[in-house]
A and B are shown apart, each in its own frame.
Chain A
């Protein structure tokens, strides 16, 4: 209590190396895994040392096809955002203001699509709405149509549907959290001043909520702007986003300069959105009194309430239906029952040329996931320790720096690695290193977030108390820090594991046949003809879904609070 000296606590003891390491090591990692590829992308994208400064940009901007790609990317992201908001807002209201049996489970359930790899969602929609999907099979069986009546594959519509399914959770969870925390006393005060419910909503609730809605919109826009797996699998060539175009330019057309120019364009947009999101979220938080009186939960009383609640339940069912369809289709349902797909992925029966061994893909994925956990968790924990002191002037810039990789799309990251990782004559790209680095880079900000919030919640004097009681610095770490952080570390590890398993864009760019992962293998099966390949893709997607879902279940069980707010 005496004065401003908390930050100096414990100076003169503790492991000095660790103190330096908690800032230096994460920064070194960022330099290698992020700054260097990023710098190379900028160099190539700006045409440094090439034909001339900005030549790639000028060429890209002069190409009507690429201009079209840019406009389409913006257009589909905007439309997806509006649809996700329209679809999610009523549910957000219900989850914020209504209490009913199963509310918690539903809230957890809607989050499942968001934590799954986009490729699983894409396969889910394929299973639901594809030519041999659940809906078409059912319609054919019931009405005897000659051919599948729902023809959505490779249309703009199915992309939008997939985006809404994927982003629904963000809209609902972000907005309902703020909505639930809006102090009901403010509304009551307005009502007592003779405002009608409609007027209360328009003049009080909506303005207070606006920043939260805008923040959710910015986040959804950012995610859909860089949509990759969903578009690659469900869309037609004319639906290519910048992200898909960068991939094509780099791997098919070998035009790294143009790819880098597009990546930079995209980067400016996503970082801008990220910045807008952070600002808006601050604004939203400032407007609500957190932990005010618990928002008075409304029990449904009017028909309108029941309709809204029913609508929310229906929305949840709709959002989850692709996953269920995927599960059914992986067993051959409807139209029979079979384990062909699973048998295929757990045996190496075929000896096709270019055949992707499913067992190897699973093994590779697990290997990368373990490596990612082993790298991301220590880095994240160290970095969180470095950010612990809230008064240090460098804390906020450093925190922002650590979060920066989140604003960079996966394909851009992969591109940066492709452009960079050659040291002398040794080509690092032929090793496992770039894939592990990319996965770690995407995973470790999450580790920082969960560990940091637990560290901040820790009472400040626990370590000192232990020390005065005779505990050596090592014992303080093993008996105080680690036990208290164990849950957060576990959550971070599960998250890193799931992120690595599902990572698609960067891995695809960096892929080499011997390192093929599950998501890459799924794409491989899909691009090959034949029912057997489709069955393999569905089975492997289901395995991915179940592993990632189990991880999410573990996280929710750990009841780590705050994660629900992203």
Chain B
């Protein structure tokens, strides 16, 4: 089966010189897969959606669906679904007519259209709102109507542009679950645009990270998170602990890394590129940092003293900003009953699990 969506060598230059350049980032999307397009505001996420939807024409490259090229195919003949960030609900139609709009446009028989709308209303749990004007709905309800509307005509591909953007945190979590439920129920192929990595990882099985109109990384969420391709990706995914580090060959195939926290042997197999470098960046994921004395069976760990700069309660623990020999290290500590909050100036012992440190082949 040809992929539902296939993008090859895509690029477009805009009036101000702003460019979306995906010429070196071809990708395919198989039926039932979900792709998250992740990046900061202005990175080109929405533009990519508009190109796929046919609302804009690429200068170069080809988009095809189910093996057939889409060049020159007008948006209304593509049978894609797109949920705009501002929802774009039709203000002159009620909820039912909004959802039915695509079905009528695609000439569904009246009976089938009615049945499908009823199904959508039930699926999105908005049965009671069918005859309400859309401008009387709450933000969450509008979101559901918009989702139902884009889903109703069974699009080959559903694109969601920051679908949870305008909602408060509580509603976001709820609707995110809802989107996953509906994705599985309808078996829909999904492109999900967001600037929130948690959202992207929760919904998608592939992630495409964009920065300033270029693709910087493409892969499984786990890989992208653990092995960010650039400092930009690392920081964008929430990594705060990135430190310069020097490499030295000890024996063939074994490296010693030296940073402000001390030096350690890199035991993991070292790839070619890394072995030719003398400088790189150490990425210390939060789960590699812990506070307190070393446990007896602990793996090789660096233990250092650090001064607390700031401690904020976040969920069930503290987010700590620590000072280690002039460098800033971020760590998590569990909040325990009866223990006070670490205070600025406290000296704590920090353990860094060496095996979990990632060496990334770039320097800042």
Q: Tell me the A residues contacting B by CB distance below 8 Å.
A: 1-5, 8-13, 459-462, 464-473, 475, 479-480, 483-484
The interface residues of chain A lying within 8 Å CB-to-CB of B356 are: none
Distance in angstroms between the alpha carbons of A327 and B28 in the assembled complex: 77
Give the shortest distance, in Å, between A229 (CB) and chain B (any CB).
41
Contacts A2-B43, A2-B44; is A464 near B88 (CB within 8 Å)?
yes
Query: Across the interface, which residues of A come within 8 angstroms of B106, CB to CB?
Result: 469-470
Q: Is B275 an interface residue (CB 8 A)?
A: no
User: Can you report 20 A-B residue pairs in the complex whose CB atoms are below 8 A from each other?
Assistant: A1-B46, A1-B162, A5-B50, A5-B56, A10-B55, A11-B57, A13-B74, A459-B91, A462-B90, A464-B84, A468-B55, A468-B76, A468-B82, A469-B106, A470-B79, A470-B105, A471-B76, A471-B105, A473-B76, A475-B76
CB distance from B110 to the nearest CB of A (A): 16
Contacts of B153 in A (CB 8 A): 469-470
Most chain B beta-carbon contacts within 10 A, residue among A12, A469, A472: A469
Q: How far is the CB of B107 from the nearest CB of chain A, in Å? A: 8
Across chains A and B, which 10 residue pairs bring their CB atoms closest together, nearest first? A469-B102, A465-B88, A470-B105, A461-B88, A2-B46, A470-B106, A471-B105, A461-B84, A12-B57, A468-B82
Contact B90 A480 (CB under 8 A): yes
Please tell me if the beta carbons of A465 and B92 are within 8 angstroms of each other in the complex. Answer: no
From the candidates A459, A470, A473, A479, name the one contacting B86 in the complex (CB within 8 A).
A459
Closest to A466 in B: B101
C-alpha gap A155/B86 in the complex (Å): 62
With A1-B85, A2-B41, A464-B75 as given contacts, are A471 and B56 in contact (CB-CB < 8 Å)?
no
CB contacts (< 8 Å) of A8 on chain B: these are 14-15, 56
Q: Is the interface of A mostly helix, strand, loop or mixed?
A: loop
Q: Which residues of A contact B77 (CB under 8 A)?
A: 470
Within 8 Å CB of B50, what residues of A?
5, 9
Question: Do A462 and B43 have beta carbons less than 8 Å apart?
Answer: no
**Docked pose: A282 CA to B198 CA in angstroms:** 46
Assembly CA distance A483 to B46 (angstroms): 28
- Which of chain B's residues 91-134 have a Cβ closer than 8 Å to chain A? 91-92, 101-102, 105-106
Q: Does B84 contact A465, Cβ atoms closer than 8 Å?
A: yes
CA distance A12 to B54 in the complex (A): 9
Please tell me if the beta carbons of B16 and A484 are within 8 angstroms of each other in the complex.
Answer: no
Q: Is the CB of A483 within 8 A of B84?
A: no
Q: What residues of B have a CB within 8 angstroms of the CB of A10 in the complex?
A: 55-56
**Cα distance A466–B54 in the bound complex, in angstroms:** 13
Query: Does B53 make an interface contact (CB < 8 A)?
Result: yes
**Residues of A contacting B221 in the complex (Cβ-Cβ under 8 angstroms):** none
A471 partner residues in chain B, CB cutoff 8 A: 76, 101-102, 105
Contact A3 B84 (CB under 8 A): no
Q: How many residues of B contact A (CB 8 A)?
A: 41
| B42 and A3 form a contact (CB under 8 A) | yes
In the complex, what residue of chain B is closest to A479 when comparing beta carbons?
Answer: B101
* B144 in the interface (beta carbon within 8 A): no
B91 to chain A, nearest CB (A): 7
Q: Does B18 contact A (CB under 8 A)?
A: yes
Contact B88 A467 (CB under 8 A): no
Shortest distance in angstroms between B38's beta carbon and chain A's nearest beta carbon? 13
Q: A470 to chain B: which residues have CB within 8 Å?
A: 76-77, 79, 102, 105-106, 153
Q: Mark B43-86, 1 if CB is under 8 A from A, else 0.
A: 11111001001111100000000000000001111111110111
Tell me if A484 and B92 are in contact (CB < 8 A). Answer: yes
Given B45, B76, B81, which contacts A472 in the complex, CB threshold below 8 Å? B76
Q: How far is the CB of B61 from chain A (nearest CB, A)?
A: 15
B-chain residues with CB within 8 Å of residue A473 when the two chains form the complex:
74, 76
Q: Within 8 Å CB of B18, what residues of A?
A: 3-5
> Given A460, A469, A472, A483, which contacts B149 in the complex, CB threshold below 8 Å?
A469
Contact A1 B92, CB 8 Å, known A466-B105, A470-B76: no
Contact indicator B14/A5 (Cβ below 8 Å): yes
Complex alpha-carbon distance, A5 and B17, angstroms: 11
Minimum CB–CB distance for A493 against chain B, Å = 19
CA distance A4 to B44 in the complex (A): 11
Give chain B nearest CB distance to A6 CB in angstroms.
Answer: 10
Q: How many Å lie between the Cα of A12 and that of B79 in the bound state?
A: 18
Q: Determine if B206 is an interface residue (Cβ-Cβ < 8 Å).
A: no
- Determine whether the beta carbon of B150 is less than 8 Å from that of A469: yes
Kindly report which residue of chain B lies nearest to residue A475, judged by CB atoms.
B105
Q: Is the CB of B41 within 8 A of A468?
A: no
Residues of A within 8 A of B102 (CB): 469-471
For B92, list chain A residues within 8 Å (CB). 483-484
Q: How far is the CA of A5 from the CA of B81 in the complex (A)?
A: 21
Shortest CB-to-CB span from B210 to chain A, Å, is 10
Which residues of chain A are within 8 angstroms of B46 by Cβ–Cβ distance?
A: 1-2
- What B residues does A461 contact at CB under 8 A? 84, 86, 88
Is the Cβ of B91 less than 8 Å from the Cβ of A484?
A: yes
Closest chain-A Cβ to B10's Cβ sits at a distance in Å of 15
Partner of A2, one of B45, B55, B82: B45
State in angstroms the CA–CA spacing of A475 and B92 once bound together. 15
Q: Is the CB of B88 within 8 A of A459?
A: yes
Q: How far is the CA of A470 from the CA of B113 in the complex (A)?
A: 14
**Shortest CB distance B22–A (Å):** 14
B121-158 CB contact bits vs A (8 Å, 1 = yes)?
00000000000000000000000000001100100000
Q: How far is the CA of A5 from the CA of B82 in the complex (A)?
A: 17
Nearest CB in chain A to that of B108: its residue: A470
Whether B44 lies near A468 (C-beta < 8 A) is no
Select which of B56, B80, B150 is within 8 A of A12 by beta carbon: B56
A329–B80 Cα distance when bound, in Å, is: 68
In the complex, which of the residues A2, A4, A10, A12 has the most CB atoms of chain B within 10 Å of its own CB atom? A2
Chain B residues whose CB sits within 8 angstroms of the CB of A475 once the complex forms: 76, 105
A468-B81, A470-B76 known, 10 other contacts, Cβ within 8 Å: A2-B43, A5-B18, A13-B75, A465-B84, A465-B88, A468-B55, A471-B101, A472-B105, A480-B90, A483-B92
Which B residue's beta carbon lies closest to that of A391? B15
| A479 neighbours in B (Cβ, 8 Å) | 101
A467/B101 in contact, CB under 8 A:
no
Q: Tell me which residues across on chain A come within 8 A of B86, comparing CB atoms.
A: 459-461
In Å, the complex CA distance between A470 and B57 comes to 18
Closest-CB distance, A453 to chain B (whole angstroms): 15
A4 to B41, CA, bound (A): 12
Q: How far is the CB of B164 from chain A (nearest CB, A)?
A: 14
Shortest B12–chain A CB gap in Å is 10
Contact of B80 among A4, A459, A468, A472 (CB under 8 A): A468
B55 proximity list for chain A (CB < 8 A) = 9-10, 464, 467-468
In the assembled complex, the Cα of A465 lies from the Cα of B105 at a distance in Å of 12
Closest to A480 in B: B90
- Which chain B residues border A484 with CB–CB below 8 Å? 90-92
Residue of A nearest to B41 (CB): A1
- Residues in B with CB closer than 8 Å to A9 are 50, 55-56
Residues of A within 8 A of B44 (CB): 2-3
**Complex alpha-carbon distance, A441 and B190, angstroms:** 52
A469 to B80, CA, bound (A): 7
> In the complex, what distance in Å separates the CA atom of A467 from the CA atom of B117?
19
CA gap between A286 and B275 in the complex, in Å: 63
- How many angstroms between the C-alpha atoms of A471 and B79 in the bound complex? 10
CB proximity of A469 to chain B, nearest CB, Å:
3
Chain A positions within 8 Å of B42 at CB level: 1-3
A3 touches B105 (CB 8 A): no
Residues of A within 8 A of B88 (CB): 459-462, 464-465
Question: Are A469 and B101 touching (Cβ within 8 A)?
Answer: yes
Contact A3 B14 (CB under 8 A): yes
Chain B residues near A468 (CB-CB < 8 A): 53-55, 75-76, 78, 80-82, 150
Residues in chain A near residue B101, CB distance under 8 A? 466, 469, 471, 479
Which of chain B's residues has its CB closest to A4's CB? Answer: B16
Query: Is the CB–CB distance between B47 and A2 below 8 Å?
Result: yes
CB-CB nearest in chain A for B77: A470
- Which residues from A are CB-within-8-Å of B41? 1-2
CA distance A472 to B41 in the complex (A): 31
Q: How far is the CA of A12 from the CA of B90 in the complex (A)?
A: 23
Residues of A within 8 A of B80 (CB): 468
A472–B101 alpha-carbon span in the complex (Å) = 12
